[in-house]
Amino acid sequence: MPAMKWAIVPVALLVLAAGSQARARPPLGDPVTLNIGFVCQWQPRCMAQQRGAMKRSLKLVRKYQPQTWRIEMCNRNAARSRYRVDWTGFENCIRNTALRPAPVPARIIIVKKRPKRLTQSETRSQRRLTQSAPPGESTPSPTAISLGERG
């Protein structure tokens, strides 16, 4: 009888383990697992490598705090698409000591000439459109306007 009790224990453990896996939460609520699953096409060995690379690279970034340009460059290099990251590629990039910042592209500077500023005496001599004619000048008669240039 005692041997029978010990035989039931492994079977009970297997049933409990299988039951907990069946009730495991789907990865839809976990974006990291979902990302790694898509990158690895749900292959368990690849997913384990990606998880390990993610943990190691995040630990390295937290500990050594590399420059911002290095993190941004590695994020661009490791991106599979806009929202998916290859963590193994990111880890290899972030640990690469030979990386140098990208050179700043030369910008073409277009220099526009400023309009010439008028002095106060020049602005006084010019008549504004809304300003009436000075008293010495005569305004053209309405008949001269109606005849036109060629008369």
Residue 57 CB neighbours (<10 A): 21
pLDDT: is 101 or 81 the higher one? 101
Domain extents for the chain? 27-103
Radius of gyration of the chain (CA): 40
Token couple for 143: 């008949």
What pLDDT, on a 0 to 100 scale, did the predictor assign at position 43? 93
HSE, CB side, 13 Å, CA atoms: give it for residue 96. 16
pLDDT: is 71 or 127 the higher one? 71
Question: Three-state DSSP class for 145?
Answer: helix
What pLDDT, on a 0 to 100 scale, did the predictor assign at position 105? 80
Q: Which of 93, 88, 94 is nearest to 49 (CA)?
A: 88
Q: What is the pLDDT of residues 20-76, one digit of tens each?
A: 454 566 677 888 888 899 889 999 999 999 999 999 999 999 999 999 999 999 999
- Full-model pTM: 0.52
Q: What is the pLDDT of residues 98-123, one digit of tens each?
A: 999 988 888 877 777 777 776 766 66
Residues 6 or more apart in contact with residue 137 via CB below 8 angstroms: none
pLDDT: is 56 or 13 the higher one? 56
Contact 36, 51 (CB under 8 A): yes
Residues 6 or more apart in contact with residue 28 via CB below 8 angstroms: 34
* pLDDT, average across residues 2-26: 56
What pLDDT, on a 0 to 100 scale, did the predictor assign at position 126? 60
pLDDT band at 82 (very low <50, low <70, confident <90, very high): confident
